Amino acid sequence: MKAMAAKPTTAGTPANDDIGEAKRLALYRSQIRLREAEQRAFDLFLQNLVKGTSHLSLGQEAVAAGFAEAMQKGDLSFCTYRGHAHTLARGVSVEKVLGELMQKDNGLMRGKGGSMHLTSEDHGVMGSYAIIGAHLPIACGAAWRAQYRGDKDVSVCFFGDGTTNIGAFHEALNFAAVWKLPVVFVCENNLYMEYTPIGDVTAVPSPAGDRAAAYGLPKIVIDGNDADVVYREAQKAFAKARAGEGPSLIECLTYRHSGHSRADPAKYRPEGELERWKERDPIKIYRERLKQFGVSEQVMAEIDADVRREVDAATEACKAAPMPPTDILFTDVYADGGWAWRN
Amino acid sequence: MKAMAAKPTTAGTPANDDIGEAKRLALYRSQIRLREAEQRAFDLFLQNLVKGTSHLSLGQEAVAAGFAEAMQKGDLSFCTYRGHAHTLARGVSVEKVLGELMQKDNGLMRGKGGSMHLTSEDHGVMGSYAIIGAHLPIACGAAWRAQYRGDKDVSVCFFGDGTTNIGAFHEALNFAAVWKLPVVFVCENNLYMEYTPIGDVTAVPSPAGDRAAAYGLPKIVIDGNDADVVYREAQKAFAKARAGEGPSLIECLTYRHSGHSRADPAKYRPEGELERWKERDPIKIYRERLKQFGVSEQVMAEIDADVRREVDAATEACKAAPMPPTDILFTDVYADGGWAWRN
Amino acid sequence: MAEISYRDAVARGIAQEMARDKDVVFLGEDVAKAGGCFKATVGLYEQFGPLRVRDTPISEQAILGAAMGAAMTGLKPIAEIMFSDFIAVCFDYIANEFPKSRYMSNGQTKCPLVVRTGNGAGSRFGAQHSQSVENWCMMIPGLKVVAPSSPRDVIGLLAAAVRDPDPVIFFEHKSLYPIKGEVPDGEIVDTLGTAKILRPGTDCTILALALMVPRALEAAERLKAEHGIDAEVVDVRSLVPLDTQTILGSVGRTHRLFTVEENPRLCGWGAEIVSIVADEAFYDLDGPPVRITTPHIPLPAADHLEDMVLPTADRIVETVRRSLNS
Amino acid sequence: MAEISYRDAVARGIAQEMARDKDVVFLGEDVAKAGGCFKATVGLYEQFGPLRVRDTPISEQAILGAAMGAAMTGLKPIAEIMFSDFIAVCFDYIANEFPKSRYMSNGQTKCPLVVRTGNGAGSRFGAQHSQSVENWCMMIPGLKVVAPSSPRDVIGLLAAAVRDPDPVIFFEHKSLYPIKGEVPDGEIVDTLGTAKILRPGTDCTILALALMVPRALEAAERLKAEHGIDAEVVDVRSLVPLDTQTILGSVGRTHRLFTVEENPRLCGWGAEIVSIVADEAFYDLDGPPVRITTPHIPLPAADHLEDMVLPTADRIVETVRRSLNS
Ligand SMILES: Cc1ncc(C[n+]2csc(CCOP(=O)(O)OP(=O)(O)O)c2C)c(N)n1
Ligand SMILES: Cc1ncc(C[n+]2csc(CCOP(=O)(O)OP(=O)(O)O)c2C)c(N)n1
Ligand SMILES: [Mg+2]
Ligand SMILES: [Mg+2]
């Protein structure tokens, strides 16, 4: 709600374009792609083709796109069960993500992990973790490896507002700060844990921002619905990390348009809240931004159509794809490829 | 070290004596008693009569005495493995504490718990916990009961500087703040976790103080070697808790004269550190304080002698006491008094 | 008598106890205003109000720690851990605090609380939201551990757990929430530590728990109809206290033992019971005691894969038949 | 050949591996400058420097999480959890993260790390610092679990654990730290998943682990000398992978099985092995397989009480003798 008041903080003009048209179009494309893919996931769920659970981040695309576009190849993403967008934003194909949601053999993990555990190491997506807070220390470890070896990659760890209240958050932030690790913690504050407003269960107004000082870090709370704002902040944090100056904690104010998970009709929202946030839909904001910078409707429409083609093709491929074969049940428990716990 | 610089912040005169002679003598007596009892425990250890481990808080007596003297009957203490002083300060007899350290039948828990788990519910000592951080949430629960029932007691939870880096600390502080629980968290910053300086592993200079804001609480860092300072701060925090205004987090700067545990010769201290802190020995400070307020050497000597009599008698009683009988091995696993897990 | 779901039985059980005793309080994530992530606690907040039914932060250690502190000082808290897999983030309370404080304090400390948690597979949630972890608790001295298989048992055992003076871990099976069963009117209070012979039989004993109970019953019917094997089916219900009398008694009559558990293979409750029987009733046994378990692998998400790894009626029938005929 | 202590073997094993492979790094509380709370890692900081041997905050979740992240991305971390009881505060990594990531990711993720921890009783530390918790790990699919009983095995199995591409939980027994044993010069690398027959025998098989191994050996000598019973003693060494061939082979020869474990009674490794043997070697057994365990209670602090609850050579002798003569 507080974020509602905030206007986009940087309504740039072509004159002060620090981001540049190519990157802007990439940010736009990415957001559209996340939106279309997740919207499709929802449609497929309504058709009973998505199995298990799934957690959409419709409305939160600017965070995923803004960070991913600021990352370099080799940078590492650590996501949660609400990880479709972050996974897609690193370049994983829509087919592989939808395939996993539909538990088909073409899925990213061939149905073994499911929607909460999307992983694509080839794209730097080092896993999606479904135990709240668990991946923050893990991201520290990856950053430690970079520090130890002198590698220049950054580990980026995404999580929600509710996650700031669990012990692992605290341990990871202190650990990263003391060891000056190249890790960036990104809190997507979408105002709710599952169904409970974050303010009801948190001692401070900014669940991440107001905790930063406890780890010697500056308070950073940004408009998470403006991809440019996100992109710029990400760049700053990554530069700091690569320079060996340690971690950042960035709170992005945003909102999920959908329920917490597929089972949730989100009846707990106060009336009008969703509508107000939809006025600040990141895609709406970004279309206006592009217009400001002189990008034509036609260019946008072409991107939209292009994305739709990917999503449509992916949908067809997933529908046609076979179920995973049952022999994968017993593979990859251990590094030898098998599961033998005895001789 | 930082604390070294701080002079006693309140060198009162009889004119502004908010504490009063009776309480001052009680504070003195308590500190002497803790000192003598723990010193005796150390002697007994050298004689091989203390078994298992033990963690002394020689040098930290002002914290235990200051808080305990501010407590009312019914207030609850939650301690750590370094809990002898807090237990004694609530009025538990020296015999029962030494008896437990010597694992005799007259021990507080008849040798079943050992030195790390001193518990005396009759005195409001609700246990000593040996897993770092575990008792902070437990203290919240006791405070929740008080809040729910409208009881006016306060739960007081003691822990060390190193404990501020574990997850349970964070969860408990947030929980207590959100629920506005009548709980007082007391961090005894003695500059070290076991052997590692707290500054080496903590992102902020004041491990508790600099975290308070993360829970919407004021930063309170006090001289933990001055029992008057401690006593006054405790009173304030208890009043706040009883008024329904929620938790406090108080960091007390202090120093342990002994090693971390009986096994530790404390070689990791920088040269001169111990000596500098001994100049600020809480008992030395308090003797001077009493003199300022016109208490005669003779009164102090009588208290000293009195305490010594208790400690000597306790020592003899413990030496004479039998070992615990073996039939207690199988009692009090369950509330029915037994241990049957099957029929 | 009314037919209600296992899910609704949870709320009814809690309500029965909260109405009876105002020391019973309830806390957990999203349990109050939202009625719980599985909708198993709908209505409690409205009925008992915000002081007794409380939403918490995502802080499982604080939830269990707070429950313990409240229990030590006079309340009888019920704490929800949403998915039993999350016991791993607050395991210190389960393993080191709840079960040891009374003993360490030589009987001074009490800990009458209940931890309710959604256990088990079948929802295609993947490896971190589908585990059966009752053995994580059974192996810890000082706890009590219960896992009901029917709406009636949910109410009766939950009431018994709340009234019990010791810490009880109460495993609700997520895949049983929608199933329905007959429940008598009025107060229901059962007894911890009692197994139930659900189907008497003479040829072998099949022990099962929670979701495995209906599968064992189905298997027994098919064993009889298709193979003429008359299996006795025992719902273990309570792992601690364990009703070894009923179990040993049954094996003493049937001379063959099969356990059906959802736990992964190693160190499950099946291993414990088989070991007890092998030791104490060795000469009663006419053949090897056999455990039917989930294989020792993490759980896959995909529906047909998940279905393949849990013990099924088919697998029970096949295992028993083959074992008895060999 | 030199005689060194189990304690010094730990440092030597770590040093051997760190010298070999610069991807091996080591972290934990007070492990670096102070050389560890049990002085088992003295000298490593001096030898390998502050980048490879690191002191951490009291943050067990951060320690294990960091180890995992480093392992996933190319290092081979060794993490110390000071007392194995503290596994309870970081159990999520043990139960839900380390062992499941490779499977859930369909083989993309690796996790080659070692968690070393001080396990077991005998130091009069009381209920929260004395437990044997190898079963907390054995029951989780996807881990490997090792517990050496001698200085030589400490080095060899630690080296094997570090070189192993999977997460290994390495239980050092606190009461064994001072004991000494012969250790060959030069590199020592053993093999995970191999049990060792330490004393061949014909009348029964006694399986033991860690501190129980010397007790089982002493019992076997006394059984022979005092009762003419010739017991085979097997050091299980590795719970996962489990060397069932050696175990079943031994029982196949001796026809009687005893397990000696420090775990509390329920769901220990003894239960698992007894269940395997009862199922797969039922007709080899001439009498009931018997578990000798610590009773299912929290551990008391007092020395003579603690001594009474752990299995002793006396108790092993008595149990075996009575069981074989009955
Ligand atoms: C340890 C743990 N506790 C509880 C849950 C159940 N849970 C899943 S998502 C969620 C809410 C998380 O809220 P937040 O961090 O704000 O992320 P969001 O879902 O809003 O993206 C909860 C409580 C969990 N997965 N893990
Ligand atoms: C979860 C856990 N981790 C580690 C330990 C081992 N340990 C015991 S005391 C201690 C140091 C605690 O430091 P601090 O909180 O400053 O308290 P102090 O001992 O200085 O009073 C440590 C690491 C423990 N008991 N529990
Ligand atoms: Mg949220
Ligand atoms: Mg300290």
Residue having the nearest C-alpha atom to atom 13 of ligand 1 = A193
pLDDT in tens, B54-112: 999 999 999 999 999 999 999 999 999 999 999 999 999 999 999 999 999 999 999 99
H, E, C per residue of chain D: CEEEEHHHHHHHHHHHHHHHCCCEEEEECCCCCCCCCCCCCCCHHHHHCCCCEEECCCCHHHHHHHHHHHHHCCCEEEEEEEEHHHHHHHHHHHHHHCCCHHHHCCCCCCCCCEEEEEECCCCCCCCCCCCCCHHHHHCCCCCEEECCCCHHHHHHHHHHHHHCCCCEEEEEEHHHCCCEEEECCCCCCCCCCCCEEEECCCCEEEEECCCHHHHHHHHHHHHHHHHCCCEEEEECCEEECECHHHHHHHHHHHCCEEEEEEEECCCCHHHHHHHHHHHHCHHHCCCCCEEEEECCCCCCCCHHHHHHHCCCHHHHHHHHHHHHHC
Q: Is C134 exposed, middle or buried (0-12, 13-18, 19+ CB in 10 A)?
A: buried
Whether the per-residue pLDDT at A3 is higher than 80: the answer is: no
Q: Are D31 and A102 in contact (CB under 8 A)?
A: no
- Give the global pTM: 0.98
Atom of ligand 1 nearest to the CA of A80: 21
Contacts of C291 (CB under 8 A, 6+ apart): C258, C259, C261, C265, C268, C270, C271, C274, D275, D279
User: Other CB atoms closer than 10 Å to residue A267's CB: what's the count?
Assistant: 8
Give the C-alpha separation, C103 to D96, whole Å.
Answer: 30
Give the Cβ contact number of residue C202 at 10 Å.
Answer: 12
C-alpha to C-alpha distances, C22 to C162, C167, C185, nearest whole angstrom: 12, 18, 22
Closest residue on chain C to D288 (Cα): C279
Q: What is the DSSP letter of B199?
A: G
Q: Identify whether the C-beta of residue D298 lies closer than 8 Å to the C-beta of residue B109.
A: no
Query: If you search the block for the tokens 């707070």, which residue do you land on?
Result: C66
Q: Closest by alpha carbon to B290, among B10, B42, B25, B35?
A: B25
Using a 10 angstrom Cβ sphere, with 0-12 exposed, 13-18 middle and 19 or more buried, the burial of residue B48 is exposed
Pair D273, D258: CB distance under 8 Å? no
pLDDT tens readout for residues B270-310: 999 999 999 999 999 999 999 999 999 999 999 999 999 99
pLDDT category at A13 given cuts 50, 70, 90 is low
* CA–CA distance, A41 with A88 (Å, rounded to integer): 13
Q: Which residues pair with D207 in a beta bridge?
A: D234, D259
Q: Ligand 1 pocket, C10 CB below 6 A?
A: no
Tokens coding B190: 């003695």
For B155, name the nearest residue in chain C, comparing CA atoms only. Answer: C69
Judge whether D65 and A137 are in contact, CB under 8 Å.
yes
CB atoms under 10 Å from CB of A305, counted, come to 9
Tens place of pLDDT per residue across chain C (326 aa)? 899 999 999 999 999 999 999 999 999 999 999 999 999 999 999 999 999 999 999 999 999 999 999 999 999 999 999 999 999 999 999 999 999 999 999 999 999 999 999 999 999 999 999 999 999 999 999 999 999 999 999 999 999 999 999 999 999 999 999 999 999 999 999 999 999 999 999 999 999 999 999 999 999 999 999 999 999 999 999 999 999 999 999 999 999 999 999 999 999 999 999 999 999 999 999 999 999 999 999 999 999 999 999 999 999 999 999 999 97
All residues at 6 or more sequence positions from C219 whose CB lies less than 8 Å from its CB, including other chains: C206, C231, C313, C314, C316, C317, C320
B189 lines ligand 2 (CB under 6 A): no
Which band of pLDDT confidence, cut at 50, 70 and 90, is reported for residue B4?
Answer: very low
For residue D28, how far is its CA from the centre of ligand 2 (angstroms)? Answer: 13
Residues of A within 8 A of C59 (CB-CB) are 165-167
Asked if pLDDT for residue B14 goes beyond 70, the answer is: no
Beta-carbon contacts of B178 under 8 Å, excluding residues fewer than 6 positions away, are A200, A201, A202, A203, C57
Is the N-terminal amide bond of D151 cis, ω within 30° of 0?
Answer: no
Considering only CB atoms, which chain D residues are within 8 Å of B329? 297, 300, 305, 308-309
- Model confidence at B12, pLDDT cuts 50, 70, 90, reads low
Distances (CA, A) of C261 to C23, D103, D152: 35, 22, 39
For chain B, positions 84-113, list CB contacts with chain C under 8 A.
108-110, 112-113
Find the CB nearest C274 among D140, D275, D287: D275
Are A234 and A67 spatial neighbours (Cβ–Cβ below 8 Å)?
yes
Q: What percent of chain D has pLDDT over 70?
A: 100
CA end-to-end distance (rounded Å), chain A = 59
Q: Is B133 helix (H, G, I), strand (E, B) or coil?
A: coil
Q: What is the pLDDT of residue A1?
A: 37
Put simply, whether D61 touches B (Cβ < 8 Å) is: yes
Residue A269 to residue A254: CA distance in whole angstroms = 14
Residue C238 in tokens = 């309570």
- Could you tell me if the CB of C85 is within 6 A of ligand 1? no
Nearest chain A residue to B137 by CA distance is A167
Name the residue among B178, B204, B210 with its Cβ closest to that of A203: B178
Q: What percent of chain D is modeled with pLDDT above 90?
A: 99
The Cα C201–Cα C270 span in angstroms is: 20
Q: Identify the three-state secondary structure at position C141.
A: coil
Tens of pLDDT, residues D256-277: 999 999 999 999 999 999 999 9
Q: Is D241 on the interface with C (CB under 8 A)?
A: no
A233: tokens are: 């902040």
Taking only the tens place, the pLDDT of each residue in B211-223 is 999 999 999 999 9
Say how far apart CA C227 and CA B189 lie, in whole Å: 72
Q: Which residue of C has its CA nearest to A328?
A: C305
Give, for ligand 2, the residue of D29, D38, D58, D92 to mutate: max count of ligand atoms closer than 8 Å to Cβ.
D58
Strand partners for D53: D26
Structure tokens at A51: 């199995």
Q: Which two tokens stand for residue D281?
A: 């070697």
CA-to-CA separations, D123 to B49, B80, D89, in angstroms, rounded: 15, 19, 21
- Is D39's pLDDT higher than 50? yes
Place of tokens 């997933």: A318
Arithmetic mean of pLDDT, A147-159: 98
Structure confidence by residue, pLDDT tens digits, D155-200: 999 999 999 999 999 999 999 999 999 999 999 999 999 999 999 9
Distance from CA of B132 to the nearest CA of A (A): 13
Give the per-residue pLDDT at C100. 98
User: What confidence tier does A15 reach under pLDDT thresholds 50, 70, 90?
Assistant: low
Contact criterion met (CB < 8 Å) for D30 and B165: no
**Best residue in C139, C273, C282, C284 for a mutation probing chain D (most D CBs within 10 Å):** C139
> H or E segment at B192?
none
Cα distance between the two ends of chain B? 59
> Smallest Cβ distance to A52: which of C34, C86, C126?
C126
Is-contact B200 D30, C-beta < 8 A?
Answer: no
State the pLDDT at residue A12: 53
* CA dist A66 → A10, A135, A192, A225, D278 (Å): 14, 21, 22, 10, 60
The rounded distance, in Å, linking the Cα atoms of D237 and A339 is 20
Mean model confidence pLDDT for chain A: 95
Alpha carbon distances (Å) from A82 to A120, A199, B139: 15, 21, 34
CB contact under 8 A, A203 and B170: no
Average pLDDT of chain B, as a whole number: 95
So what's the pLDDT on residue B15? 63
Q: What does the block give as tokens for A152?
A: 């220049």
Q: What is the DSSP letter of C96?
A: I
- Distance CA(A206)–CA(A214), nearest Å, equals 13
Phi, psi of B231 (to 5 degrees): -60, -45
Alpha-carbon distances, residue C210 vs B333, C154, C237, C295, D150 (angstroms): 27, 10, 7, 18, 43
Give me the mean pLDDT over the D133-152 stretch.
98
Task: Say what percent of chain C tops pLDDT 90.
Answer: 99
- Residue D198, pLDDT score: 98
Count chain A–chain D contacts defined by CB atoms under 8 A.
162
Q: Are A184 and A247 in contact (CB under 8 A)?
A: yes
Strands, sheet with D257-264, edge to edge from the N-terminal-most edge strand: D196-199, D231-235, D204-208, D257-264, D290-294
Question: What subunits touch chain A, counting only 3 or more CB pairs under 8 A?
Answer: B, C, D
Closest CA to A230 of A60, A93, A5: A60
- Distances from the Cα of D15 to the Cαs of A185, B13, D33, D83, D155, in angstroms? 34, 61, 15, 21, 10
Q: Which residues pair with C79 in a beta bridge?
A: C27, C115
User: Residue B265: which residues within 8 A CB-CB, separation 6 or more?
Assistant: B259
What does the pLDDT look like over A207-242, one tens digit per residue? 999 999 999 999 999 999 999 999 999 999 999 999
Backbone dihedral angles phi then psi of residue D154, each to the nearest 5 degrees: -55, -50
A167 at interface of C, judged by CB pairs closer than 8 A: yes
Query: In angstroms, what is the span from residue B162 Cα to ligand 2's centroid?
Result: 6
* Partner-chain contact C99 D298, CB within 8 Å: yes
- Please count the other Cβ atoms lying within 10 Å of the Cβ belonging to residue B268: 17
| C266–A165 C-beta distance less than 8 A | no
Q: Residue A194 C-alpha to ligand 1 middle, in angstroms?
A: 6
CA dist., res. D154 & res. D152, Å (int): 5
pLDDT tens for D77-113 read: 999 999 999 999 999 999 999 999 999 999 999 999 9
CA atoms within 13 A on the CB side of A211: 32
Which domains are assigned to chain D? 2-183 (3.40.50.970), 196-325 (3.40.50.920)
Active-site residue list of C: 129
Q: How far apart are CA B131 and CA D182, in angstroms?
A: 36
For chain A, percent helix, then strand, then coil, each to nearest 5? 50, 10, 40
Query: Are the beta carbons of A156 and A184 closer than 8 angstroms?
Result: yes
Q: Does residue A2 have a pLDDT over 60? A: no
Pocket lining: B193 vs ligand 2, CB cutoff 6 Å: yes
Is any atom of ligand 2 closer than 6 Å to the C-beta of B99?
Answer: no
At A9 the pLDDT is: 45
Superfamily holding A22-318: Thiamin diphosphate (ThDP)-binding fold, Pyr/PP domains (3.40.50.970)
Q: Which of B163, B193, B201 to mutate to test the pocket of ligand 2 (most atoms within 8 A of CB)?
A: B193
CA angle, B134 then C113 then C29, to 5°:
70
